[in-house]
Structures are given as C-alpha cells and as structure tokens.
Amino acid sequence: MLKLLPLPRPAWLAAVAAVGSLAGCSKAVVLNPAGDIAAQQGNMVIQATLLMLIIIVPVIALTLWFAWKYRHNNAANTEDDYDPDWHHSTTLELVIWTVPLLIIIALGALTWIGTHKLDPYRPLDRISATKPLDAQSTPLEVQVVAMDWKWLFFYPEQGIATVNELAAPVDRPILFKLTATSTMNAFYVPDLAGMIYAMPGMQTELNAVINKPGVYKGMSTHYSGSGFSGMTFRFHGLSQQEFEQWVARNRSEGKPLDRNTYLALAQPSERDPVQRFASVEEGLYDKVLNRCVEDGKMCMHHMMAIDENGGEAYVRAMGLNLPQDVCTSQNAEQVVASLEASPTPRTPRAE
C-alpha cells in the first residue's frame, strides 16, 4: 500500500487557503445582498435548506450511528440483538413517510408563495422589510439592451444612456425593461435581484430596489460567445443628490446617441470601456426592441399588426401590394403611417 508523506505546514496552509477560495467571495453576496428583492430570494434559499436539513442531518447521524453500533467487533452486541425475521414497524414507517411528506408540502407552499410574490414583472409592494413603499413614488425606468459583448442602458426619464455603467438612487423602485440585439443573454446584479433573460425582439421586465449605497458588480450569466467573460458592468447605488450629479455628468461629458451611432455601437466588441451619451434619439429603444433601427426596415410590431389584421388581404385593402411594397424602403413609410392610424400594435413580451 502506498504511504502518504506528511505535508509541511506551509503546504497545509496553502491547501486550506485554496479550499477557502473555492467557497466563493467572503461577502457571500447571494445570502447578504444590498437589495430587498435579492434579500427575500436569499431568505428563501436559507429556509429551503433548513427544511431539507430536517431529513438530511438525522439520516447522516443515523447512518454513522448504525455503522458504529453494528460494527463487527462490537462486544456489546449479543445474539438477542439479531432478529432475522424482523420485517415491519408501523412507527418507523410513519416516520419514514410522514416527515418527508410534510417537508415536501412545506417546500411546495414556500416555493409557490415566493414565486408569485417575487415575480419579476410584479411591481414592488415595499422598499425593505422595515420601510413601506411610498404611494406617491414612481419607479425609475431603465431600458436595458444586451449587445455583443456589452450592456447599453437607456434612461428615458433623464434622456441619457450609458454603456457598461448603471446607477440608481437608494430606496427608489427600479423598473428594468430588457431586450437584446442578436443573442439571448441574461442580466444579473447579485446584490439587486435574481437573473432575468434578455431576448432579441422580445421584452422582459424586472422590478427591484437597492437599499444600501455602494458599487456592485453586474454581469452576463448566459454564454453568448467569445466576449462573454468580459461582459460585466458596475452598478452604483447612490443617494438622490449623487444620482442627480451622475446624470448631470453624463449630460456634460456624453455625446448624442442617434441611429447611426447605435448601429456602430452594435458591432461586436469585447471589454468596452464606459461610454456616456448626453441625449438619445426619440424612439430608439423601441426600434431596437422591434429590430428596425436600420433605414427602411419595417418594425416587428407593425408586421405583427399586419398579421393580426389579416396579412396580405389587409395590406391590399390599404391599396398596397405584397411583398414589394412592404419590403422596400420607398413604400415602408406609407405602410407604417397606415398602421399608426389603426389600433395600437402590440409590443412583443417574453412570458
């Protein structure tokens, strides 16, 4: 048999440090986040773990106890302890089946309630466990675009945009609306809330709040190609005054974001620095969502409206011909104008 040589003390210390590093960051952000939604999700993880430990801990303890009690060289065992005809115990059966069943019921109730309460589309009903939601407050809307391989953030209320930098006031609800340019991706700020997907041509939503000032890490959590590992950003939790200063800085240092600038920005690139835009062309996010930023390209919601109203027959009734009139830039404006005069077209939403 091979004999293991004892490691010197520095080697043992290095091994302990390596194992410790595998445990993740010391902050344990998922269980100690700075936002209320993430905190409630972390509490669900703890509660579910404790419920499962009700079974796991006794099973492990009994396994060790049985192995020790019925070991071969246990002199305390006698012939009277051996009962080869034993086959049933009503008490034991009740414990074996009832306790796990109760735990499953509790886990199911916990998951069902938490899933509906923490639905990312559901507006917040509180700021934190100790602070109710002000009925007069309005959420800060942030429109998120997952690109290759960077993040673009629109602030429609402030009229600005940023690349790879996000900020919001502390204790103010945030409404994220998310889409993507080409590849499905996932938006995740561990301190803020759970992961939410962003998909081309569709819009997802996430309601969240940050409760502590600080700088937090944001990332992509869905592999999207060679630049995936560098698709990170910083999320700043600021006071209201600091947020207003941050907005003013973007307006003073940034440049305009129009259709042509966006098309250049949408080209794949890796590890982009922070970029600021002092103004945004009106309706640009909607064009990104509906995949019609390029000149002469019909928007998806207009195509959906045509299909909903009868397709080719509907367009012909407006005096246009398919497919040329819809697919050429010369007649696209006429088709769009006709659609705008009809009932409001639907916005695609990911369920």
CA distance 109 to 30: 22
Tens digits of pLDDT across the chain (351 residues): 444 455 455 555 555 455 454 444 446 888 889 999 999 999 999 999 999 999 899 999 999 998 888 787 877 777 666 677 778 888 888 988 998 899 999 999 999 999 899 999 999 999 999 999 988 889 999 999 999 999 999 999 999 999 999 999 999 999 999 999 988 999 999 999 999 999 999 999 999 999 999 999 999 999 988 899 999 999 999 999 999 999 999 999 999 999 999 999 999 999 999 999 999 999 999 999 998 888 877 787 777 777 777 766 666 666 655 554 444 445 556 666 665 665 545 555 665
CA distance 162 to 168: 13
Two tokens, residue 230: 């560098």
pLDDT at residue 347, rounded to an integer = 54
Dump strand ranges (E) for the chain. Answer: 126-128, 131-132, 140-146, 151-155, 160-163, 165-169, 174-180, 185-188, 196-198, 204-208, 214-220, 232-238, 255-257, 275-280
pTM: 0.78
Buried b / exposed e across 185-217, counting CB within 10 Å, b at 16+? bbbbbbbbbbebbbbbebbbbbbbbbbeeeebe
pLDDT at residue 95, rounded to an integer = 85
Buried b / exposed e across 44-76, counting CB within 10 Å, b at 16+? beeebeebeeeeeeeeeeeeeeeeeeeeeeeee
pLDDT at residue 23, rounded to an integer = 47
Residues 278, 160: contact at Cβ < 8 Å? yes
Q: What digits encode the pLDDT tens for the residues 65-124? A: 988 887 878 777 776 666 777 788 888 889 889 988 999 999 999 999 998 999 999 999
> β-strand 140-146 against 174-180: which pairing, if any?
parallel
